[in-house]
Structure 1
């Protein structure tokens, strides 16, 4: 049975990945794994949790703000070291690289080499 307006309006479209309710329609875990492998990263449970958090944040915000997103990730992973920890598992930046793996367009400023990314 259709659960979302998209499913009602577009029956027969591809369903979202299980466990990723906020994922973009054309995103898949295999696409994330391929992107991560291209960057030399093996996705761990913390990576997947970050991707889910990013997708949920983008689902709630029409125009995400890089600073608010940065702060939200820092708070969500505070017990593990916050944003510093996320930079360890996402060397290209948790916002820029994380958004790419999550199938999301990074907010303005996230891929600026002087802010939001360490590559």
Structure 2
């Protein structure tokens, strides 16, 4: 396990950079992760992030892209625009939840 620091907060991450303890997540940590990934978060990003965190807590596993589009009310095209090159994986990293099982 590795430790990274975002916005002055140390968090535990796995080899792919996913938080291993969702309780360490804060919006400031999310901003740091997003910056590392080259993302500038907008209100629509936050809507998706909040949905993913709530859905993960309710379902016990991270949602894949299809469930995100339905639950967050965004199109697949918009999801790929917000989180290019693998939206399920990227939004999970920023949201501080495990990588979705549907992502390789």
**TM-score above 0.5, yes or no:** yes
Runs of 4+ in 1 over 4 A off after TM superposition: none
For residue 69 of structure 2, what is the aligned residue in structure 1? 74
Question: C-alpha root-mean-square deviation of aligned residues, in Å?
Answer: 1.6
Do 1:77 and 1:83's aligned partners in 2 also have CA atoms closer than 8 Å?
Answer: no
For residue 82 of structure 2, what is the aligned residue in structure 1? 89
1:32-51 residue pairs with structure 2 within 5 A? 32-51=30-49
Do 2:61 and 2:98's aligned partners in 1 also have CA atoms closer than 8 Å?
Answer: no
1:1-80 residue pairs with structure 2 within 5 A? 24-64=22-62, 69-75=64-70, 76-78=72-74
Classify the secondary structure of the residue corresponding to 2:87: coil
Structure 2: tracts of 5 or more residues without a match: 1-21
Q: Larger radius of gyration, structure 1 or 2?
A: 1
Question: TM-score w.r.t. structure 1 length?
Answer: 0.61
- Indicate how the Cα distance of structure 1 residues 42 and 63 shifts in structure 2: closer, same or farther if over 3 A, else same: closer
User: Residue 95 of structure 1: CA displacement?
Assistant: 1.2
For residue 104 of structure 1, what is the aligned residue in structure 2? 97
How many positions carry a matched residue from both structures? Answer: 82
Q: If each structure's strand is expressed as a fraction of its own residues, which one has the higher value? A: 2
Structure 1: tracts of 5 or more residues without a match: 1-23, 113-119
